[in-house]
Amino acid sequence: MAASMLNFNVGVLGHIDSGKTSLAKALSTTASTAAFDKNPQSKERGITLDLGFSSFVVDIPEHLKDGNHSKLQFTLVDCPGHASLIKTIIGGAQIIDLMMLVIDVTKGMQTQSAEVKMKDHKVIGLCAYVIGEIACKKMLVVLNKVDLLQPEKKQQQIDKMTKRMLKTLENTCFANSPVIPVAAKPGGPDAPEVNAEGVETLIEELKRHAYLPARDSTGQLLFSVDHCFGIKGQGTVMTGTMLRGRVAVNDTVEIPSMQITRKVKSMQMFRQPVESAIMGDRVGICVTQFDPKLLERGLVCTPGSLPTIEAAVISVTKIGYFRGPCATKAKFHVTMGHETVMARVTFFGDVPGQSYPEREKIAFSFDKEYLYQDDLKAPVKSKGSSNKENQPEEDALPSNTLQWALLEFEKPITCPVNCLWRVGRDGTREMAWGTIKPIYRNTTDKEYVASYLPSLKIYKTKTREGVVDRMTDEYSIIGRGLFKKETNLQTFVGLKVKLSTGEAGVIEGGFGQSGKFKIRIPNGLNADTSTQLSSSSKKKGKKAQKDDAAVPDPPAQTHQQPIKIHLQFKRYIYDSKKQIIQT
């Protein structure tokens, strides 16, 4: 059965009370143990607090017939609608192949303080936007509760809301998304059971937009657990989604957070026994007994395949619509799957102006140099956008510029390679403002500050400015103002400098005890520079004579600007020797 069934995961997202769970019920024929708000707190509060899973099966559409599948199973991932539950939604983001954004047609797009403002000060649910940034680019918009519209104005209001949604989405990755009107639960939650309206049309639209998602059954197992419970006399059942690889009955799997291994006794997909499962499948795995209270959510893997890491280097993209700062060295909540941990973040990026062919294929390299960033930069928006909200920030980077982050965790975290990350100011209503992409290198070394960080070639550019004190001859000058008198000038001997008049020079050493220094000009001073410095030296000499004779100075004259000395160099921020580098 499993071999002939193509599983396709659909995220059901939207504002609280938009009718997501009612829609999932109207579509589904099979429910998992975690479907339709079965969580006791969800029943008590009347809102979705956790991910819910249900499914329905259709014949494989013509455009998906490849000889390997005869049925298409839609697995619905019912997500919480409240922005404070963003962590729960991000935990399910990487399993979603397509999204359904559910809108209450009587209310339209609703604002929450933690949601992301878009055109005309309207919003798409923050969760939908974030998942669109990091996980999938396909979406259907469902206008729910159309039964509550006045019959004589029903179509007019549907058309109006459809036009508004398309306008809102036109400058996003979801432009031209289909908009389908439905009434998932006509009359409301307390009304008698009647047939849903528009569901058949929605199913046909889902079939039309389904595609063959990437499913790699090779490599090591990675299974995301979202619910865990015991069955007396059988074992412990872990329900979740296959993120990578393959698992089969009698395999041995590891629960790294508990540091235990268990044997797979049996498996089910929506109550149907199966012998194996691959990436993308929704499955319940029964293993030999352990206390299910110790694993509410987490990861299961091939034994020994998931390290517990202290720090990581990752690629990072700032969410385009978030306007707040993301400062280096600040501490953020970093979420991977269902786990969140505090980390200090250091941002850095490619060197501006440096050419990198085939940009998308360039990975992080410890052989390359990177420029330290005080904060994370926003990508430049498309030139065709007229939306003020879409205009780039003043310090925005070109869209093909890669940015990176060093994450230093407050406590070790079990982390798979190629996972999705979310960075936020706190774990609740403050929005994540970083879209974190796959890990490129990580470390399990607790002494990583000494053993790992020095290999990161992240540098800061330093600039100092002084002035020419006087000329000793046409090939040498004395400068001041670059260093304090207590500075060890030997560190700077041999560094190149440039005069504001254009000449290049080299620092030869100190001069006296006041921080002055000697500069050699290999090609000699320009004639105009020599004349200006010679004139300045004569004036200084005359002034000294007048001071000695107690003769008052003449009225102030207009003087030429002093000749400036510019010194530029760079230092690697993790170099314990603090070496100075010039290119």
Helix/strand/coil (H/E/C) assignment for every residue in 429-498: CCCEEEEEEEEEEEECCCCHHHHCHHHCCEEEEEEEEEEEEEEEECCEEEEECCCCCCCCHHHHCCCEEE
The mean pLDDT of 338-362, rounded to a whole number, is 74
245-255 residues labelled b (16+ CB within 10 A) or e (exposed): bbbebebebbb
- CA–CA distance, 438 with 313 (Å, rounded to integer): 9
Cβ neighbours for 550, distance < 8 A, ≥ 6 positions apart: none
Closest CA to 504 of 481, 521, 526: 521
DSSP 48: -
The DSSP annotation for 185-224 comes to STT-TTSPP---BSHHHHHHHHHHH---------S--EEE
Joined tokens for residue 62? 């013509």
Helices marked H in 520-576 — which ranges? 527-549
Q: What is the pLDDT of residues 393-451, one digit of tens each?
A: 455 566 567 888 899 999 888 877 666 666 666 544 333 344 444 456 677 788 888 88
Mean pLDDT check: name the lowest of 1-5, 38-42, 309-313: 38-42
Secondary element (H or E) of residue 162: helix 154-169
- CA–CA distance, 169 with 165 (Å, rounded to integer): 6
- CA–CA distance, 567 with 138 (Å, rounded to integer): 52
Over 90: is that where the pLDDT of 189 sits?
no
Secondary element (H or E) of residue 157: helix 154-169
DSSP 502: S
Mean pLDDT check: name the lowest of 70-74, 88-92, 238-242, 532-536: 88-92
Q: Which long-range contacts (CB under 8 A, 24 or more apart) does 538-542 make?
A: 540/470
The mean pLDDT of 57-86, rounded to a whole number, is 78
Over 60: is that where the pLDDT of 388 sits?
no
Kind of pairing, strands 222-231 and 235-244?
antiparallel
- CA–CA distance, 419 with 407 (Å, rounded to integer): 14
Which residues lie across from 269 on neighbouring strands?
272
In 10 A of CB 10, how many CB atoms? 24
Joined tokens for residue 371? 């420029």
- How far, in Å, are 143, 348, 442, 527 from residue 369 at the CA level? 50, 10, 18, 40
Residue 345 C-alpha from the chain's centroid: 12
pLDDT (0 to 100) of residue 1: 41
DSSP 555: S
Over 90: is that where the pLDDT of 370 sits?
yes
DSSP 249: T
pLDDT (0 to 100) of residue 376: 86
- CA–CA distance, 349 with 373 (Å, rounded to integer): 7
pLDDT > 70: percent of the chain? 73
Q: What is the largest CA-CA distance in the chain?
A: 111
Over 90: is that where the pLDDT of 383 sits?
no
Joined tokens for residue 241? 């989604």
SS3 540: helix
Joined tokens for residue 87? 């962590």
Over 50: is that where the pLDDT of 48 sits?
no
Mean pLDDT check: name the lowest of 57-61, 154-158, 172-176: 172-176
Q: What is the pLDDT of residues 83-122, one digit of tens each?
A: 444 454 555 556 788 989 899 998 876 544 334 333 333 3
Kind of pairing, strands 272-274 and 260-269?
antiparallel
Q: What are phi and psi of 309, to 5 degrees?
A: -110, 155
Task: Output the average pLDDT for the chain.
Answer: 79
SS3 303: coil
CB 112 within 8 A of CB 93: no
CB 94 within 8 A of CB 422: no
Q: What is the pLDDT of residues 272-307, one digit of tens each?
A: 899 999 988 889 999 999 999 998 788 899 999 888
Q: What are the structural domains of the chain?
A: 4-209 (3.40.50.300), 222-301 (2.40.30.10), 308-380+400-456 (2.40.30.10), 460-531+561-582 (2.40.30.20)
Q: Which residue has the higher pLDDT, 394 or 79?
A: 79
Radius of gyration of the CA atoms of the chain, in A: 32
- CA–CA distance, 510 with 497 (Å, rounded to integer): 15
pLDDT (0 to 100) of residue 440: 61
The mean pLDDT of 192-204, rounded to a whole number, is 89
Over 80: is that where the pLDDT of 130 sits?
no
- How far, in Å, are 69, 224, 372, 476, 532 from residue 244 at the CA level? 20, 9, 34, 67, 72
CB 34 within 8 A of CB 239: yes
DSSP 114: T
Exposure of 263 in the CB half-sphere (CA atoms within 13 A): 4
- CA–CA distance, 103 with 116 (Å, rounded to integer): 16
Would you call 148 exposed, middle or buried from its count of C-beta atoms within 10 A (0-12, 13-18, 19+)?
Answer: middle
Q: What are phi and psi of 155, to 5 degrees?
A: -65, -35
Q: How far apart are the first and last CA of the chain?
A: 64
